[in-house]
Structure 1
Amino acid sequence: RIQFTPDLMPADVVGSEVVDEDPKTGKRSFRFSAGPIFSNVVLADEINRTPPKTQAALLEAMEERQVTVSGETRPLDAPFLVLATQNPIELEGTYPLPEAQLDRFLLNPVIQYLPVEDEIKMVSETTGLDREEPEAVLDAEDILTLQSLVRQVPAPENVVAYAVGLATGSRPQAESCDEWTSKRVKWGAGSRGAQALILASKARALLAGRTNASCEDVAAMAKSALRHRVLPSFFAESEGLGSDEIIDHLLETISA
């Protein structure tokens, strides 16, 4: 877990070269001290509280699965996953993530409050003396196996075409974008959006015990895969519309 703060530096995330001195000979040499990015699962907590320079330290790691420091490239161990949280309130002193950074994230789920019954259970179980220690349910090899299985799930051509249609339909400059959308979108989803939508649909099908992804899977995952890739225009914001409402329109107007 990395707590992102305004004074966090890129070297605090990826690591840096430090000077070592041999106590016997006095000889000095550089040694690479790895940062917390060299983990299988990285939680970037309140990522929008750190400046863009530090946010950008994650770009190479998330896309290339490697880190370059002092001209030397070091691969990250597989599996490598980045989870991030953003503070939706107290926007003063925060730095919105640029579109290129947001595009690196596969999904952007919106976490709502728990149902009352579940919240009562959660509060009861976390405020007493006895607390259950979490147990590992998967190891690194299990995660790699599941990732491979997801990619093996077939996605018929019409399903891929539907996902690409939703992505291209969100781009104001595309011919397939209708007038309603072109007025309300400043920037639409790129090719990564369509890729994320298909991968998420395959995973959803696998979790449901099905052998192939369907258009229903694409529609179900559309908001999570596209909401951070569709940037509403000022006109949309003046109407009180956000990314979710624009994606709803795409789902209503683009046929599977």
Structure 2
Amino acid sequence: MKESMPNATTRGFDDYLNFVREYFPKTIWLEERHIENLEKLYVIVYENLLICNLLKEHLENQLLSCKLRFLNDYMESVNTLLIAFPVNYPGFSNYTIRVAVESLLKFIYSITYPSKTEQQVSKTPFRHLKEELKKHESNQPIKEQIVLLLNIYSEASRSIHKHMVDNSDLNATLNYYVETYFNELEKIINTLDRMVDLLIITLCTKLDFDYDRLTLASKLQMNKLSFKRKGKLMSFTNVSSRK
């Protein structure tokens, strides 16, 4: 059974749907059979934003020094999917997923190697970053999740150019993307859903997130999350309760 959205999320989706209708009136995603997937995308993006803001509050409350640029880059990339989907070009959405995962991994890397400057983290070649993340002792509890994020990055990279059209007729090419429903975009929604779960596990572990330390206001904000997402966050209450 589909989990119902909290009222605030429902209102937010209505606003987003109106935005899509105004700026992308001919997008295939406004067809009745596809709106449910557009709603699913919006809910995941909205939950991701709430979770990241909760983690930022945790960092502030615990006076932890982190390079938030990379977390902000991750958030911006995920939010961009709300534009990418109505455009209906799979390459755009896959590129956005790849950038989001890379930014999240760089944020984890910056926590793992706190002595590195923001510039050093930014310029670390990806092949070095992924190996250093996997081998660092502090990352062993989340090594499986890091590997899964790396797999998402690799799959998105392979998929970016999958739908290139060899067609000298520009109008035909544009119509192809406007009129075609790509199952791959539906898969990207499921990929994003997994990414948010992986973000919770990796960052809550690395940052010693403790649900009990949240303010009452933040705990009330969590009521806007799905039961699944809220439960994952609440499982991080103390070290002994973590798996």
TM-score interval (norm. to shorter): under 0.3
Higher relative contact order (CA 8 A, sep 6+): 2
Larger radius of gyration between Structure 1 and Structure 2: 1
Using the size of structure 1 for normalisation, the TM-score is 0.24
Query: Which structure shows the higher helix fraction?
Result: 2
